[in-house]
């Protein structure tokens, strides 16, 4: 045991005591009133709902290395893959990456840490730390075992990801996130020539980026084809460099495929639309780096309490 190890253990145990003393109200995650949750024990509620912390080295997944995936104890949403788990020696399970869109980051009540929650139901998971140098990703999700369940590889819930651009990403996300089987959505920029673009830079038309959305869905509930069909029905795929009143190269219609199967399905749907007299201009492009947009763009209409002005549902299939 090193001095550093004992020091970290002491720090985390003090944080544990602090976390257990918090009495904040349960989180109000997205669609919290209509979601169905698993029953929780009093100990699970203390951590998951009231942001407590389990004792270090006491959780069942702290020293656990089976292949599979970790899901939210409260709602069952996939959170982490076992391939991203590592031993930080801190007393809690540690991961250097999450399943895309599975985790949200919030300022902690203590004023200096970053809290992580399940993006689907708002369950408290633990805290996020960066710059520690444990792995090449330089990121550590410090998660309470009690906040998760584990599913072995043979039963791992599959997730798949689709990336679309169809005008203002606010409106596309508004409709996509309502689809059954969609786990999470995230809006951002892709297809351009610069790294870490800002909204202002993308809107200038000089970076070549598209306003896009990354949709993570459960293939057991829906399919890539169904998700792509919805994409073609919530924006006008016949408009080029604009969508409704929004004009600009960032509003181009495009599907960014992640493998040949996605490409083939997209091209099939475009042929079907063209055969029914839709002069589709949607581009079919290989997926490149997806840059997350600024936080105020995420779930924009839900936070604003309004509905899209340039998107709407039109049945085309």
> What are 36-71's pLDDT values in tens digits?
688 999 999 999 999 999 999 999 999 999 998 999
Sequence length of the chain is: 317
Whether the predicted pLDDT of 35 surpasses 70: no
Domain covering 160-304: architecture? 2-Layer Sandwich (3.30)
In the set 121, 142, 203, 310, the catalytic residue is 142
142 carries an active-site annotation: yes
Closest CA to 231 of 203, 249, 212: 212
Q: In what order do the strands lie in the sheet with 68-72?
A: 78-81, 68-72, 148-152
Torsion of CA 96, 99, 105, 108, to 10 degrees: -60
Lowest-confidence region among 13-17, 137-141, 200-204: 13-17
Distance from C-alpha of 222 to C-alpha of 215, rounded to nearest angstrom: 12
Distance from C-alpha of 317 to C-alpha of 314, rounded to nearest angstrom: 9
Class of domain 15-155: mainly beta
In the set 72, 90, 118, 168, the catalytic residue is 168
Distance from C-alpha of 235 to C-alpha of 242, rounded to nearest angstrom: 11
pTM of this structure = 0.57
pLDDT at site 247 = 95
Domain chopping of the chain, boundaries: 15-155, 160-304
Distance from C-alpha of 304 to C-alpha of 308, rounded to nearest angstrom: 11
155 falls in which pLDDT band (50, 70, 90)?
low
Distance from C-alpha of 142 to C-alpha of 231, rounded to nearest angstrom: 36
* Tokens 């020696």 -> residue: 89
């Amino acid at each position: 045991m090193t001095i550093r190890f004992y020091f970290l253990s002491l720090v985390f145990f003090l944080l544990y005591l602090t976390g257990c003393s918090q009495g904040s109200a349960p989180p109000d995650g997205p669609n919290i009133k209509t979601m169905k949750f698993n029953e929780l024990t009093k100990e699970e509620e203390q951590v998951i709902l009231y942001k407590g912390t389990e004792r270090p080295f006491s959780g069942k997944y702290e020293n656990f290395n089976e292949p599979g995936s970790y899901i939210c104890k409260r709602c069952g949403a996939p959170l982490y893959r076992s391939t991203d788990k590592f031993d930080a020696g801190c007393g809690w399970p540690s991961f250097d990456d999450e399943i895309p869109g599975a985790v949200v980051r919030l300022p902690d009540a203590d004023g200096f840490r970053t809290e992580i929650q399940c993006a689907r139901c708002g369950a408290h998971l633990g805290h996020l730390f960066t710059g520690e140098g444990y792995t090449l990703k330089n990121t550590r999700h410090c998660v309470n075992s009690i906040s998760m369940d584990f599913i072995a590889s043979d039963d791992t819930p599959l997730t798949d990801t689709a990336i679309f651009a169809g005008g203002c990403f606010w409106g596309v996300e508004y409709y996509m996130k309502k689809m059954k089987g969609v786990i999470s959505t995230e809006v951002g920029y892709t297809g351009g020539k610069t790294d870490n673009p800002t909204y202002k830079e993308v809107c200038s038309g000089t970076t070549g980026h598209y306003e896009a959305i990354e949709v993570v869905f459960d293939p057991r509930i829906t399919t890539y084809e169904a998700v792509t069909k919805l994409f073609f029905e919530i924006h006008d795929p016949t408009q080029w460099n604009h969508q409704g009143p929004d004009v600009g190269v960032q509003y181009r219609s495009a599907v960014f495929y992640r493998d040949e199967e996605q490409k083939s399905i997209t091209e099939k749907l475009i042929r079907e639309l063209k055969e029914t007299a839709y002069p589709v201009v949607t581009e079919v492009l290989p997926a490149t780096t997806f840059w997350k947009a600024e936080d105020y763009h995420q779930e924009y209409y839900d936070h604003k309490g309004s509905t899209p002005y340039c998107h709407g549902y039109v049945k085309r299939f």
